[in-house]
Structure 1
Amino acid sequence: MVVIMCPGLSVLTVFCCLASALWAFPFGPVLELDVTPRTTVLVNGLLGCNRFRGLAVNYSSLLLEDGAGLLYVAAREALYALNSANISTIRNNSSIDWAASADQKRQCLSKGRDNQTECYNYVRFLDRYNETHLYTCGTHAFRPRCAYIDVERFSFVRFEEGKEKCPYDPAKGYTGLIVDGEMYSASQYEFRSTPDIRRNFPFPNLRTEEAPTKWLLEADFVGSALLRESINSSTGDDDKLYFFFTERNPEQSPYSSQTRVARVARVCKGDIGGQRTLQRKWTSFLKARLKCSIPEYELQFNVLRGVYVLEGPSVHDSTLWGVFGLEWKNVKASAVCQYSLKDVQAVFDGPYMELQESKWREYTGKVPDLRPGSCITDQHRAQLINTSRDLPDNILMFVRRHPLMAREIQPIGGRPLLFKKRVDYTRIAVHKVTALDGKSYTMFFIGTDEGWLHRAVEIGDRVHIIEELQLFKESQPINNMVISHKQKSVYVSAASGVVQVALSACVRYTSCYDCVFARDPLCGWDGRQCAEISSYADKSNLTQDIQMGNRGCDDITADGLVSHRTRSVMTGDDVLLQCELHSNLAVPRWTLNGEQLQGYGTDRGYRTGIDGLLIIGAQSRQSGHYRCYAVENAVWVPICSYMVRVQPAPPASPHLPTDPTALPESFFTTTSAVPVTPTSGPTEQPLHSPPAALPSGPEFQTNRHMEAMYISLVAVLGGLCLVLTVVLLYVSFCAHSAPAGRKYSQEGLAVTAATERKWSSHLELKTISSHCNGRADGRGRAASTDGAFLQIVPGEGQASPSKEPPPAPPLPMPPPLPSTDYTNGLSATLPSVLRKMNGNSYVLLRQADSEMTSPLYHSFTEELNRILEKRKHTQLDLQPDESSV
């Protein structure tokens, strides 16, 4: 077990400890918590999605009425009534404009507010008031207002003051709900007021206490819920409302970094305040800490960002889930923790905390017999205490000074269900599903701060992320989510609009093993397609395996749908065999003539990477039939097949020196997989022809020795990401005779550029891979580009014009490049020896604009310009199937 202790007196020390803890996750016992989504779906690959985007922005509140088939949406200065079956269809009278007046916006500006973000009417609250009306509230340019909406006509019928019900600032955390005609809300309402939990109507209005002990400290609310605990309750408890928030931590903490803490507060629905003490204040307010941490690393997730409450068969069997984040804004990491309502109730029935000498300590004194903070029960009624106003003053004084519970609410299992690095979760919704095995599974829909949706399922004691969906092109936080069981959809809102996403897109899985590997409780394979199991009356012929994710498919390793290609290469060339894996959880395995290739490295002549298998310095023994398999859940699935033929090199031209080190720099070329047909001209020579003979003279008779060649590697590590940037290659030759002839492989496009130099030059080799196993943008999203780009850039060298160049040192073997592990288990290494890349890549050699001492400079420059001019008109076939020499 690895334990990282962070004493926490220095901010820098705490940050370093936190960073080291996150960096250590892949090597510790919580590896299974950092879950990788199986597949990644970009916005243009979404299936069955409907979108709505009106003239407004900032779609924040969603109210779903499944029975009526309506989805009410609140945005900035507008409200909409949408068809829940297809939110992109607009019906008549489906929108209400609710903008702040020009005069009100001018007053907002006079208060020093921002006219770009604050001086608008942000609709923050929308709920059903009664059978005929909705109730809504908005910031109204820093002067909150509320209104009643006639549902039938979808229009306003009455306005009223909203400063006690809605915050002034649109950025303040807010939550609210209407229960039995009573409105409850929690926020920081006024401009400079403290946070408050209130009952707004009917009379009497209630609020939290501020003295002598503040019950709430800079609270940021994220959600609320009603649990009718009095139904079938033998104790006669009233129903309770729970409010979830993050606040400033008033308790003594061993770590100075823990300035915030996640909380849940509870009040009784039947509370009407005290008679003398706590008049118009809650007499039942209690709060406790929601603990979400990874104990092995002392890593605390203290910021609560979203919550979802799901009632069980009995209300006391209800479960709640929270999404948590870290306090450090520049460190992204999220966790999902699950809590039982019984554990929450046990903490509220436990010991209290007391403020002693400016520090919170557990209260060890006597507690009144009628437990402070509890709802009115049969025990109270037996003592003629029928309402909170009948409570004695000693109980109310105790409540006033002891709002905090001593014990923490621990998550089920003592640790998070899900941990995700480099992601900030914002909202969560939960859905219960019964699979073909008869078991009930919990599905999660989790929104991120960048507009992505993670669809996951809980399997045993861990969470499997089925897929991650990019819902919006522009990066933006998910504001709200709601699930429709009737429409089998989840509705997701963000700043730019609302998206309706099917609970499952089974048709995306095109084969039996793909359907089974997904482990989606909603999907099954019927022998021809992957479809929703709910659409079948007879489910006996469907295939599904949620627990293992690998059983039920026949002939899973057949080659029927595998693509076959042929590659012909020259002896000594390098060839890249691409193998694209669509699952982030799959790892590639290669076979040659039916035997698995064991181990990879330059000494074995192979190197694997995210692009596929690289054959280094191809030899005749490496000819044969190559197959690539995607191995997932211990099942080998064939992906592609290659027939590779290694051709012997043609005999050297009599004009070419037999020693390759004696070749001039102009012959250093690398080829790609596309044959070239250059354009012709009166003074041009074909690309496959050797350059013109070098001029001879006394100056070149003396230069018969090879100049030095150096190869070096530069690796740049930025932050926590290893970026492979530059390989430096130094090549310079001096030759007496004019070379003619050079072998070219039709597997690539060669662009030759060289200059004769009397001094040494440094050449920089840059490799930029455009294929990353289905991930291309900054977050690692999918792409399907077929190749990499190699670039040789000459640098500056130093030489004395009056001295003979020293003899060339032996060519050193460059060190291996560092590896970077990816989510699919591949090693993103490049070969430590790079020559001619006989695959879908090319090498560009270009010279620096420096003064040349050799008379060959201008002739080679003219030749290079002619060659490049021909290449402009060359049409490239990006997917060659057959290549020849």
Structure 2
Amino acid sequence: MPLPGQQSPLMIHWEASPEKQMDCQQKGKNNKTECFNHVRFLQRLNSTHLYACGTYAFHPLCAAIDANRFMLPSHFEEGKEKCPYDPARGYTGLIVDGGLYTATRYEFRSLPDIRRNLHQRPLKTEESPLHWLNDAEFVASVLVRESRDSPVGDDDKIYYFFTERAGEETTSFFDKSHVARVARVARVCKSDVGGKKILQRKWTSFMKARLVCYIPYYEVLRSVCSLDGGGWASTVFYAAFTLSAQWRTMEASAVCRYSISAVQRAFEGPYMEYQDSTRKWARYDGAVPEPRPGSCITDHSRRKGYNSSQDLPNSVLDFVKLHPLMFEEVKPAGGEPLLVKKSVAYSRLAVDRVQALDGRSYDVLFMGTGDGWLHKAVVVGSGIHIVEEVQVFRDLQPVESLVISHAQRSLYVGAASGIVQVPLATCARYTSCYDCILARDPYCAWDGRACRATATMDSTGLVQDIQSGNKGCRSISGRGSLPWKNRTVLQGDDVLLPCDQRSNLARAVWLLNGSEVLGMGQDRLRVGVDGLLVTDTLPQHSGEYRCYGEERGLQTLLAAYSLTVLPEIPRSPTAATPPHAASQAANDMKVAYISAIVTLVVLCAVLSTILLYMSCLEKRKGKYVLGEPRPSSVELQTVSANCLRKGHREEEEEEEELTYPDGCLRIIPGEAPTAATSPIKELPVAVPPLPPPLPAELTNGMGALPNVLRKMNGNSYMLLQQQEEPLVSPLYSASFTEELSKILEKRKHTQLVEKLDESSV
């Protein structure tokens, strides 16, 4: 919403009609991505109107928009030869002196084409007998005003940059199993009007040459931008490349710079010719007709009577049809790329030329990445120095457009999610002279107190060093006053001293007590990107540590620490638990945990046997009655072995019924555990046989445990024991210690859980 006093922003809603969207869906297109109006072209047509073209749900339309009213017209133009149907197709367009020069694959099944519209002489590329373009994907187009101050009366030219399938002979380095795609640069003359009988309504000046940067046949052209420096003869092209799909294990980008003179040399060199026998393009060494095929009309041509392309002889036009490809390659300035960067995919480039304080002009590149970042760099000599990296979009998405506005001193970054305005200069983020100088940003300089933009103030007293990036500050070491941080550790412990470098190009330098330089070669010291790690500290590691960021000979203090290593404190036997004791305690906990589980299993087995026995008695003697009616809840309580021995003695002496015919189990109704309050009516029943002894191993593989229970209740537990501890259960012939030893021996090779659940101990 605009602020008070400001005008409302002008906005145009240009959407595809529901009928066109339905028609698009019926053709099998995606109604979430393709069946919309994607605006692919927007430029100023003249002083009063803008010209825009959109895909309009696979029915391209174009419109002339009044720049002042900023409203769509009532009448639209057919756009099928000016704009692609498919929004995903590579496309480029320029308006030059009222003519619309576009390049794309226009219709659904058409071949790629370079066309001129909005002109009295519409033109396009030739398709027979040779296709001038082989599955081309266009990236950019650039106008070069070569007619200005031309000593030969040359014509303006439009240069097109694209990738296409390679047809020329390849080297053994290329993988024959893949179809090679190479980068190309093509050109046409602005005054071309086609041939009279041959190449009617076709380009007579179309020529193309191969563009190489770093790894031939394995690089894909992504973006191109240009600068002319005030005259066409100084025009340079910057191009960004990424590795092709064959290099799936590696991601890298390269940036190359090309001069207009290098492009001209390629177009003035030998031609190539398609050979039917080998189905490849090879160098043509035959005769070349006059005037030179593919060249523009110059003063030399006019003196011979060729005032336009329609005056050219048939031999020249026939040669143009069969020889559109040049033999010479266009190589980068210096023969190598300015920048090769791994793990980055550059998607768009924009360039600005800045006058620095040393009187030189520097090209500043803005490079958008495939994951929403922006890299700002300055070209120094034959290399590139990256000034800063900024994350423009939070979501991972390719940067699709970059536009520089000198009036707003801003860069506009466009992506699928929107447009972001970024200032060209962010000098305030450099807080010291060292940061300002080391950045080597042509937009910024140090005034003695702060880093400021050079465009907003007088250059008197400003300090800047783009060439070397290390001159201008008062000393080579920025020993600023930083607060000391105290670190105290015990001998033998490890300690990390953090130190964040402000620059990716800086090297960490550590000093101990002002003199000793610490490095990776020293014992127990590890220098990393996060700081200094001291392992297994000793008393001699105590001292004052300083961390500097060193770059191009300058050092900046980043962190300061005072480390104290205390001698190891002796521990009394009662205060500390020896390691073997701790290990034994952990084993005891595991044994107790297993004991509780097995004991519960044993009790369940005993109870099942008793219930089965009682069921048999009920079938033989009738209903089993225990005393007077009591509450339904009962408690089973184990009785010591004396009752069993007592029962045996009575059987031997009196041969009478047992006192406890239920196998020495007292069944106590209710909650009272006292035997006196629970009289039992004796029944004349036969003495049942004793239950068989429990097996040594239960079905779950766990050994039998003695009668000690561990009751689980959250994170607490309780050990329950019988009243007569010295006595041994009749089911076991050994003591508790002996049984526990047997259990540990059986379980020593069994896998145990190292870390118990949170709900257990």
TM-score w.r.t. the length of structure 1 is 0.64
Corresponding position of 1:319: 236
Are 2:166 and 1:224 equivalent residues in the alignment? no
Corresponding position of 1:576: 496
CA distance in 1, matches of 2:504, 2:267: 44
Are 2:546 and 1:627 equivalent residues in the alignment? yes
235 and 558 in structure 1: CA distance in 2 versus 1, 3 angstrom threshold = closer
Are 2:604 and 1:654 equivalent residues in the alignment? no
Corresponding position of 1:439: 360
Aligned AA (1:515)? C
Corresponding position of 1:518: 439
Aligned pair partner of 1:547 in 467, 489, 495: 467
Aligned pair partner of 1:848 in 749, 755, 758: 755
Alignment of 1:744-783 (within 5 A): none
CA distance in 1, matches of 2:462, 2:381: 22
User: Structure 1 stretch 395-404 or stretch 542-551: which is displaced more?
Assistant: 542-551
305 and 804 in structure 1: CA distance in 2 versus 1, 3 angstrom threshold = closer
Aligned AA (1:153)? R
- Shift of residue 535 of structure 1? 2.2
Tell me if structure 2 keeps the 8 A contact 1:93–1:153: no
Aligned pair partner of 1:480 in 378, 381, 401: 401
- Shift of residue 413 of structure 1? 0.6
CA distance in 2, matches of 1:401, 1:113: 38
Alignment of 1:54-133 (within 5 A): 91-92=7-8, 94-133=10-49
Q: Deviations over 1:31-60 (max 9, x none)?
A: xxxxxxxxxxxxxxxxxxxxxxx9xxxxxx
- Shift of residue 91 of structure 1? 4.1
Aligned AA (2:321)? R
- Shift of residue 617 of structure 1? 2.2
Tell me if structure 2 keeps the 8 A contact 1:219–1:248: yes
524 and 663 in structure 1: CA distance in 2 versus 1, 3 angstrom threshold = farther
Alignment of 1:236-385 (within 5 A): 236-254=153-171, 255=174, 256=176, 257=178, 259-293=180-214, 300-328=217-245, 330=248, 331-357=250-276, 358-385=279-306
Q: Deviations over 1:660-714 (max 9, x none)?
A: 543514999xxxxxxxxxxxxxxxxxxxxxxx99999xx9xxxxxxxxxxxxxxx
- Shift of residue 152 of structure 1? 1.2
Aligned AA (2:110)? S
Aligned pair partner of 2:312 in 384, 391, 400: 391
Alignment of 1:709-858 (within 5 A): 801-802=744-745, 847-849=754-756
Q: Report SS of the residue matched to 1:374.
A: coil
CA distance in 1, matches of 2:460, 2:270: 54
- Shift of residue 305 of structure 1? 0.9
613 and 349 in structure 1: CA distance in 2 versus 1, 3 angstrom threshold = same
Q: Deviations over 1:363-422 (max 9, x none)?
A: 111101210111111222122221111111111000001001111011101111111111
Structure 2 residue runs without a partner (length 5+): 596-714, 716-741
Q: Deviations over 1:739-776 (max 9, x none)?
A: xxxxxxxxxxxxxx9xxxxxxxxxxxxxxxxxxxxxxx
CA distance in 2, matches of 1:98, 1:564: 62
- Shift of residue 848 of structure 1? 2.8
Aligned pair partner of 1:415 in 323, 326, 336: 336
CA distance in 2, matches of 1:387, 1:558: 68
Aligned pair partner of 1:592 in 512, 518, 535: 512
- Shift of residue 234 of structure 1? 2.1
258 and 522 in structure 1: CA distance in 2 versus 1, 3 angstrom threshold = farther
- Shift of residue 102 of structure 1? 0.5
Aligned pair partner of 1:500 in 408, 421, 436: 421
- Shift of residue 636 of structure 1? 2.3
Q: Deviations over 1:724-753 (max 9, x none)?
A: xxxxxxxxxxxxxxxxxxxxxxxxxxxxx9
- Shift of residue 647 of structure 1? 2.1
CA distance in 2, matches of 1:586, 1:383: 64
Corresponding position of 1:637: 556
Corresponding position of 2:69: 153
Tell me if structure 2 keeps the 8 A contact 1:93–1:154: no
Q: Deviations over 1:313-339 (max 9, x none)?
A: 431221111111121173421111111
- Shift of residue 616 of structure 1? 2.0
572 and 173 in structure 1: CA distance in 2 versus 1, 3 angstrom threshold = same
Corresponding position of 2:620: none
252 and 556 in structure 1: CA distance in 2 versus 1, 3 angstrom threshold = closer
Structure 1 residue runs without a partner (length 5+): 1-53, 55-82, 669-691, 700-752, 754-798, 807-845, 851-856, 863-885
Q: Report SS of the residue matched to 2:540.
A: helix
Tell me if structure 2 keeps the 8 A contact 1:209–1:400: yes
CA distance in 1, matches of 2:564, 2:143: 71
287 and 559 in structure 1: CA distance in 2 versus 1, 3 angstrom threshold = closer
Aligned pair partner of 1:566 in 486, 492, 501: 486
Are 2:448 and 1:527 equivalent residues in the alignment? yes
Aligned pair partner of 2:87 in 161, 167, 170: 170
Select the structure with the greater relative contact order (CA < 8 A; seq sep ≥ 6): 1
Two-structure CA RMSD over aligned residues (Å): 2.9
Tell me if structure 2 keeps the 8 A contact 1:292–1:301: no
CA distance in 2, matches of 1:525, 1:666: 68
- Shift of residue 600 of structure 1? 3.7
Q: Report SS of the residue matched to 1:361.
A: strand
CA distance in 2, matches of 1:436, 1:666: 76
119 and 385 in structure 1: CA distance in 2 versus 1, 3 angstrom threshold = same
Corresponding position of 2:726: none
636 and 667 in structure 1: CA distance in 2 versus 1, 3 angstrom threshold = farther
CA distance in 2, matches of 1:695, 1:355: 85
Q: Deviations over 1:152-180 (max 9, x none)?
A: 11112231111111000000000111111
434 and 321 in structure 1: CA distance in 2 versus 1, 3 angstrom threshold = same
Q: Report SS of the residue matched to 2:169.
A: coil
133 and 378 in structure 1: CA distance in 2 versus 1, 3 angstrom threshold = same
CA distance in 1, matches of 2:451, 2:441: 11
CA distance in 1, matches of 2:5, 2:288: 60
CA distance in 2, matches of 1:656, 1:131: 90
Aligned AA (1:439)? R
Q: Deviations over 1:502-551 (max 9, x none)?
A: 111000000111111111111111111100122222x2422222222222
- Shift of residue 849 of structure 1? 3.9
118 and 440 in structure 1: CA distance in 2 versus 1, 3 angstrom threshold = same
CA distance in 2, matches of 1:134, 1:619: 75
540 and 596 in structure 1: CA distance in 2 versus 1, 3 angstrom threshold = farther
**Greater Cα radius of gyration, structure 1 or 2:** 2
Aligned AA (2:470)? N
- Shift of residue 434 of structure 1? 1.8
CA distance in 2, matches of 1:175, 1:800: 82
398 and 336 in structure 1: CA distance in 2 versus 1, 3 angstrom threshold = same
CA distance in 1, matches of 2:291, 2:203: 16
Q: Report SS of the residue matched to 1:105.
A: helix
User: Structure 1 stretch 220-229 or stretch 554-563: which is displaced more?
Assistant: 554-563
Tell me if structure 2 keeps the 8 A contact 1:258–1:302: no
Corresponding position of 1:233: 150
Aligned pair partner of 1:427 in 348, 362, 377: 348
Q: Deviations over 1:587-641 (max 9, x none)?
A: 222222222244446x723222333222222222222212222222222221111
